[in-house]
Amino acid sequence: MEINGNITDDSITGAEGTIEKIDFYRMPAVIKIRKRKSYRIEEIDTKVRMERLKKEIRLMHKAKYANIDIPHIYYVSFKDMSIIMEYIDGETLKDYLSNTKRQNDIDIKLMSYIGKKLGMMHGKGIYHGDLTASNIILFPDKSVYRIYFIDFSMGGDGDLEDFAIDMLTLKKTMMNDALFEEIMKNYDNFENISKKMKEIEKRGRYL
């Protein structure tokens, strides 16, 4: 691989692939590699990893044009099925909420801002597909926060059902219904999404 990178941090292994923090031409970056799955035959494995990689890049691009903050993409390798992107030196929403020191000092405005951004993203027809509290990064920029969304590979161009599943995933993984309500309050199209969310929850399939 023709990159000037060396690993600076431990890697994280998810179900999809591994993520490592690296230096990319002196810029802090992360490399996300979709490793081969040996249970799949090579033809299918290559096809699936390629599709996901392309989808992730395409959706990040689309989200960016919808005015959603995403990490800059520095480098993509179809040979290694990897993306090198900007390292966002922030805190995931999950960590932000579970930080006990902050328990009485959670920024309600920040929650509404997340709601507004999600409304914008869904408004452009993009669903995330795996909108857990770990896939939202809060980055302090001067006196305000910027909200970054990461890991779009399960997403796509969606409809109300997809958007509602995004919101339910977020609700479940935030484990704080009161704060989730703050997010909902500032979400455009609040009534339709709430109705759809109730309908999906009733089906009982949703975890």
Partner 1 sequence: MISLGIEGTAHTLGIGIVDEENIIANVSHMYAPLSGGIHPREAAEHHSSNLSELLERSIKEAGISFEDIDIVSFSQGPGLGPCLRTVATAARAIAGHLSLPLVGVNHCIAHLEIGRRVTDAVDPVLLYTSGGNTQIITYYNGKYVVIGETEDIGIGNMLDKFARFSGIPFPGGPVIENLARKGRYVNLPYSVKGMNVSFSGILTAATEQLKSGKSLEDIAYSIQEHAFAMLCEITERAMSFTGKKEVLIGGGVARNMRLQDMVRTMVHERNGKFYVPPDELCVDNGAMIAHTGLVMFKNGVRTEIKDSKIKPNYRIDDVVVRWR
Return residues touching partner 1 (CB under 8 A): 14-15, 37-41, 43-45, 47-48, 51, 129-130, 154, 165, 204-205, 207
Q: How far is the CB of 206 from partner 1 (least distance, A)?
A: 9
Q: Smallest distance, Å, CB 126 to partner 1?
A: 15
Work out how close the CB of 202 gets to partner 1 at its nearest, in angstroms, rounded to a whole number. Answer: 11
Q: Decide if 105 is catalytic.
A: no
Nearer to partner 1, 5 or 171 (CB): 171
9, 105, 130, 141: the active-site residue: 130
142 or 203: whose CB is closer to partner 1?
203
Least distance in Å: CB of 39 to partner 1? 4
Cβ distance to partner 1 smaller for residue 10 or 43: 43
Contacts 24+ apart (CB under 8 A), 35-44: 35/81
Q: Which is nearer to partner 1, 113 or 127 (CB)?
A: 127
- Nearer of residues 79 and 203 to partner 1, judged by Cβ: 203
Nearest C-alpha neighbor of 71 from the set 19, 10, 30: 30
| Residue that has been written with the tokens 């690296």 in this structure | 22
Planar angle of CA 50, 56, 61, nearest 5 degrees = 130
Backbone phi, psi, residue 92, to 5°: -70, 155
Which residues, in sequence order, are CB contacts of 71 under 8 Å at separation 6+?
Answer: 30, 60, 85, 86, 87, 88, 148, 150
**Smallest distance from partner 1 to CB 205, Å:** 6
Torsion sign over Cα 125, 127, 133, 134: negative
Annotated active-site positions, please? 130
